[in-house]
C-alpha cells in the first residue's frame, strides 16, 4: 500500500457471541480498540508491520490470531528523459520528453515550473501521457519540466520526477574563445591553441579573426607558434546550417613580450660573512612565476658540491662559507615546462673574511666586586658587519636574556658568576655564532647599619635627651652617615651620632640611619627603625617612681617622729571600755545624771601635761 490509502482488519470467532476484542500492532496492544473491526483511514510508514487480534469474554481469552502483514511504501518516482539532442533551443525548434516507471498500470501528467500542462495543438501526449512533444518552441515554453505517475482508481500519486530544464533563446548565442595557455605574458617560441566554443546546442562550424581580419581558418581550434608579431586580439564566429550565424565572440588577447631578465637578491642581511657562516641568495622574475634558475660564479657554473640549490633553483645556500665562495654571482631562468630561457641577471659580490669576529664584553661599573642592591650593566660589542643577535649567559646555565645589553637592576649574591655574551645571526639551522671571554662578577652582602643608644641608665636623672649612634656592622671602612626620621632625611651633617630631645621630637618618632662612602659599597643597608618613645617613657616612669619612693620614705620618717612625739602613754588598767563612750542625743535627754562625755574622755594628765624635758626623756 501507499501512504494515504485506507485499510480495514476484521477479527471473527466462529463459536458463541458477545466477544470483546484486543488488537495488536507488532505485538503491542492497541488500547483504544475493542471491537472486531480495526480501520486505518490513512496509512503511513508507521502503519507497516504485523496485526493480530484475540477475543475475550469474562475470564475466557482466545489465542492471538495469525498475523496479517501490512507494508506501506512510497509510490515509485518516475524518470523523466529528454529525447531531443539538446535542452537549449531556439524558437520554432522541437522538444521531446518521456516519463517512465517500472509498472505499466500508471498514467502520467506533465508540469512546467510546477503547473500542470494541458494538451493543445503544440503539446502532444500519447494515450497514457508517457511522452510529451512540443512543436514550434516558443519563449514561454522554457522552464523546469517534471512529470508525475498516477493510479487513479486508488487515488495514488507519485512524487515529481527528476527535472529537466529547457532554455529557449530568442537570439543566437555568442561564441567564446579560449586559449590553452593561461600564462600572461607569453614569450616568443611558445605554442598557443585557441578554441572557439558555442555553449548552446551543437553542429557549429567556425571562422577566425585577428584584430578584425579574417584568418581564413574554419576549424574549431587553431594552433599558433608565437612571434612578437602574433601579439593581438583574436575572435571567432559560429555557423549552423545555411541561415544560422552568430556574431563575433569577445576578443582574447595574446600578450607576447620579450623574455625578462631575472633579479638576483641577497636573502641574508649581509654579503660580508665569516668562515663557517651561512649565506643565501635568491633569483626571481619580477611579476612572473614558474621559472627555474641556473647559477653562475665568476662567469662559470656554480659547483654543486660547494653549495645547495633548491629544486627550482630560486635559492642558492652556502651552509659553511669559506674563501672559495668569494666571487661574483649571477643567475638565469627558464620557464618550467615552457621553451623559454632568459639572459643572465646582474651580479652580486660575496666577500668572506679570513677569521671569526672579536666579541668584547663590557661591564659598567667595571668593579669586579659589587654589593647586593647595586645596578650593573653589561654590553656586548662586536667590531665588524651587522645583523647580530645577542644572548647572555652566566656560568654554564641557560640563557639569561637577549639584546645588546644585560642589566641587573638590584644585585643579589646569587648573581655572582662568570658572565659572557654570544652573538649570532641567521636562522635555524644556518646560524653563525661567536662568543666573548667571560667576565667574573662577585656580589657581596651589603653591610647593614645599626643604631646604638649611647645614653646610659646612670644619666637618667641628669637629662631627658637620648644620644643615638649609627654603626656599620662588620665593616672596617670609613663611613659618613645619613639620619632619617619617619623615613624623611634629616638635614644634618654626616655625623655618626644624633641627639634626640623632647623639644626636637615631641612626638618621639622612628629613627633610621644609613652609611655612605665614596668607595664601594657606596652605601649600607638602612638600620632597623629605632623608637625613642618607649625608652623616654621608661626613663620618665623610673624617675617618677624614684621620686615617689624618695618622698614616700621622707613622709613615713616624719610621720613616725610626729607620732612618737605626740602620742600619750596609757596604762593598761586605765583603758576604758569604749563601747558606750558616746550616748546618743535621745539617751542624754532621758538621763539627767549623764556626765559629759568630753569631761570623762579628758584625763588629768591631759590637763596637766609634763614639762618639755620630761617629754624628751620619755622619748
Strands 510-516 vs 131-134: parallel, antiparallel or unpaired: unpaired
Residue 460 and residue 403 share a domain: no
Q: What's the confidence (pLDDT) of residue 377? A: 95
Peptide linkage before 429 cis (omega within 30 of 0): yes
Q: Higher confidence at residue 428 or residue 534?
A: 428
Residue 161 and residue 182 share a domain: no
pLDDT at 137 over 50: yes
Q: What's the confidence (pLDDT) of residue 618? A: 36
Residue 248 and residue 187 share a domain: yes
Residue 403 and residue 425 share a domain: yes
pLDDT at 355 over 70: yes
The three cell numbers of residue 578 are 569604749
Q: What's the confidence (pLDDT) of residue 332? A: 94
- Residue ending a domain, among 254, 271, 294, is 254
Q: Would 276 be classed as within a structural domain?
A: yes
Q: Would 544 be classed as within a structural domain?
A: no
Q: What's the confidence (pLDDT) of residue 457? A: 60
Residue 618 and residue 573 share a domain: yes
Please name the residue that has the C-alpha cell 487480534: 53
- Residue ending a domain, among 386, 409, 444, is 444
Q: Higher confidence at residue 15 or residue 613?
A: 15
Q: Which pLDDT tens digit goes with each residue over 476-533?
A: 888 989 999 888 888 866 788 888 877 666 666 888 999 999 888 989 999 999 887 6
Residues recorded for the chain: 619
Average pLDDT of the chain is 83
Q: What's the confidence (pLDDT) of residue 604? A: 46
Q: Would 556 be classed as within a structural domain?
A: no
Q: What's the confidence (pLDDT) of residue 477? A: 86
Handedness of CA 551, 552, 557, 562 (dihedral sign): positive
Q: Would 553 be classed as within a structural domain?
A: no
Q: Which pLDDT tens digit goes with each residue over 273-329?
A: 888 888 899 999 887 888 899 999 998 888 877 889 998 899 999 888 888 899 999
Residue 416 and residue 468 share a domain: no
Number of neighbouring beta carbons within 10 Å of residue 50: 13
The three cell numbers of residue 525 are 643597608
- Domain count of the fold of the chain: 7
Q: Which pLDDT tens digit goes with each residue over 393-423?
A: 999 888 889 999 999 999 999 999 999 999 9
pLDDT at 435 over 60: yes
- Say if residues 353 and 326 touch (Cβ distance below 8 Å): no
Q: What's the confidence (pLDDT) of residue 615? A: 31
Q: Would 414 be classed as within a structural domain?
A: yes
* Distance (Å, whole) CA 21 – CA 163: 50
Q: Higher confidence at residue 175 or residue 124?
A: 175
Q: Which pLDDT tens digit goes with each residue over 217-245?
A: 999 999 999 999 999 999 999 987 566 67
* Distance (Å, whole) CA 316 – CA 324: 15
With a threshold of 0.85, does the pTM exceed it? Answer: no
Mean pLDDT, rounded, for 110-126: 86
Domain range for 602: 568-619
Q: Would 217 be classed as within a structural domain?
A: yes
Residue 90 and residue 150 share a domain: yes
Q: What's the confidence (pLDDT) of residue 598? A: 40
Q: Which of 92-101, 112-121, 371-380, 535-544 has the highest mean pLDDT?
A: 371-380
- Say if residues 291 and 336 touch (Cβ distance below 8 Å): yes
* Coil vs helix vs strand at 390: strand
- Residue ending a domain, among 169, 184, 219, is 169
Residue 439 and residue 454 share a domain: no
Q: Which pLDDT tens digit goes with each residue over 568-601?
A: 665 555 545 444 544 555 555 555 555 544 444 3
Q: What's the confidence (pLDDT) of residue 605? A: 44
Q: Which pLDDT tens digit goes with each residue over 53-89?
A: 999 988 888 999 999 999 998 888 999 999 987 788 7
For residue 363, the domain's CATH number is 2.60.40.10
Amino acid at each position: 500500500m501507499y501512504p494515504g490509502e485506507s485499510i480495514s482488519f476484521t477479527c471473527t470467532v466462529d463459536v458463541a457471541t458477545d466477544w470483546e476484542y484486543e488488537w495488536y500492532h507488532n505485538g503491542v496492544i492497541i488500547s483504544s480498540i475493542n471491537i472486531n473491526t480495526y480501520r486505518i483511514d490513512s496509512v503511513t510508514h508507521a502503519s507497516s508491520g504485523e496485526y493480530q487480534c484475540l477475543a475475550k469474554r469474562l475470564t475466557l481469552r482466545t489465542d492471538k490470531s495469525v498475523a496479517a502483514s501490512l507494508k506501506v511504501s512510497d509510490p515509485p518516482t518516475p524518470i523523466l528523459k529528454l529525447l531531443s539532442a539538446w535542452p537549449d533551443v531556439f524558437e520554432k525548434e522541437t522538444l521531446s520528453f518521456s516519463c517512465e516507471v517500472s509498472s505499466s498500470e500508471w498514467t502520467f501528467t506533465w508540469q512546467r515550473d510546477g503547473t500542470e500542462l494541458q494538451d493543445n495543438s503544440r503539446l502532444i501526449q500519447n494515450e497514457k501521457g508517457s511522452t510529451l512533444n512540443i512543436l514550434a518552441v516558443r519563449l514561454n515554453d522554457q522552464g523546469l519540466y517534471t512529470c508525475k505517475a498516477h493510479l487513479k482508481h486508488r487515488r495514488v500519486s507519485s512524487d515529481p520526477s527528476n527535472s529537466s530544464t529547457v532554455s529557449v533563446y530568442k537570439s543566437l548565442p555568442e561564441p567564446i574563445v579560449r586559449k590553452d595557455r593561461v600564462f600572461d605574458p607569453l614569450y616568443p617560441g611558445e605554442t598557443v591553441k585557441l578554441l572557439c566554443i558555442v555553449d548552446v546546442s551543437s553542429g557549429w562550424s567556425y571562422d577566425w579573426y585577428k584584430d578584425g581580419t579574417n584568418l581564413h581558418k574554419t576549424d574549431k581550434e587553431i594552433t599558433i607558434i608565437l612571434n612578437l608579431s602574433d601579439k593581438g586580439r583574436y575572435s571567432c564566429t559560429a555557423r549552423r546550417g545555411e541561415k544560422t550565424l552568430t556574431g563575433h565572440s569577445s576578443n582574447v588577447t595574446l600578450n607576447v613580450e620579450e623574455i625578462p631578465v631575472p633579479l638576483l637578491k641577497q636573502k641574508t642581511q649581509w654579503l660580508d660573512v665569516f668562515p663557517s657562516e651561512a649565506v643565501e641568495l635568491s633569483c626571481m622574475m619580477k611579476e612572473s612565476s614558474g621559472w627555474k634558475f641556473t647559477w653562475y660564479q665568476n662567469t662559470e657554473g656554480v659547483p654543486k658540491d660547494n653549495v645547495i640549490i633548491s629544486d627550482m633553483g630560486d635559492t642558492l645556500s652556502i651552509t659553511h662559507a669559506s674563501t672559495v665562495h668569494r666571487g661574483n654571482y649571477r643567475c638565469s631562468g627558464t620557464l618550467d615546462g615552457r621553451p623559454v630561457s632568459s639572459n643572465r641577471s646582474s651580479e652580486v659580490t660575496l666577500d668572506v673574511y679570513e677569521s671569526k669576529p672579536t666579541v668584547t664584553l663590557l661591564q659598567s661599573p667595571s668593579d669586579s666586586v659589587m654589593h647586593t642592591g647595586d645596578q650593573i650593566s653589561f654590553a656586548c660589542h662586536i667590531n665588524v658587519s651587522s645583523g647580530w643577535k645577542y644572548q647572555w649567559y652566566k656560568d654554564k646555565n641557560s640563557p639569561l636574556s637577549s639584546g645588546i645589553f644585560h642589566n641587573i637592576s638590584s644585585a643579589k649574591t646569587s648573581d655572582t658568576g662568570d658572565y659572557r655574551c654570544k652573538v649570532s645571526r641567521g636562522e635555524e639551522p644556518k646560524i653563525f655564532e661567536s662568543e666573548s671571554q667571560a667576565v667574573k662578577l662577585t656580589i657581596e652582602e651589603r653591610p647593614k647599619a645599626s643604631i646604638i643608644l649611647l645614653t646610659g641608665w646612670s644619666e637618667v636623672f641628669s637629662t631627658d635627651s637620648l644620644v643615638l649612634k649609627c654603626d656599620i656592622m662588620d665593616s672596617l671602612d670609613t663611613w659618613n652617615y645619613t639620619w632619617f626620621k619617619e623615613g624623611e632625611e634629616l638635614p644634618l651633617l654626616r655625623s655618626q651620632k644624633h641627639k634626640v630631645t623632647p623639644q626636637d621630637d615631641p612626638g618621639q618618632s622612628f629613627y633610621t640611619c644609613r652609611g655612605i662612602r665614596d668607595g664601594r659599597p657606596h652605601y649600607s643597608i638602612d638600620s632597623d627603625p629605632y623608637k625613642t618613645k618607649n625608652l623616654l617613657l621608661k626613663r620618665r616612669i623610673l624617675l617618677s617612681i624614684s621620686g615617689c619612693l624618695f618622698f614616700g620614705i621622707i613622709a613615713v620618717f616624719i610621720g613616725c617622729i610626729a607620732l612618737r612625739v605626740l602620742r600619750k602613754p596609757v596604762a593598761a588598767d586605765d583603758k576604758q571600755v569604749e563601747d558606750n563612750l558616746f550616748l546618743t542625743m535621745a539617751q542624754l535627754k532621758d538621763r539627767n545624771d549623764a556626765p559629759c562625755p568630753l569631761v570623762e574622755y579628758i584625763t588629768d594628765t591631759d590637763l596637766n601635761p609634763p614639762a618639755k624635758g620630761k617629754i624628751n626623756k620619755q622619748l
